[in-house]
Amino acid sequence: MVIYTVALIIHVIICVALVLVILSQTSKGGLDANLGGAAMNVFGGSGASKFLRKWTQILGVVFVASCIFLAFQVRAIGKSAPPKILEEKFGETATAPAAKAKPAPAATPKAPAENPK
Residue 2: band (very low, low, confident or very high) from pLDDT cuts 50, 70, 90: confident
pTM above 0.75, yes or no: no
User: Residue 28 has what DSSP assignment?
Assistant: T
* Through-space distance between the first and last CA atoms of the chain, rounded to whole angstroms: 85
Q: Which tens digit of pLDDT belongs to each residue from 10-46?
A: 999 999 999 999 888 875 555 555 555 555 555 555 5
pLDDT in tens, 62-117: 999 999 999 998 888 777 756 665 566 666 554 555 556 666 666 666 666 676 66
Give the integer Cα–Cα distance in Å for 74 and 81.
10
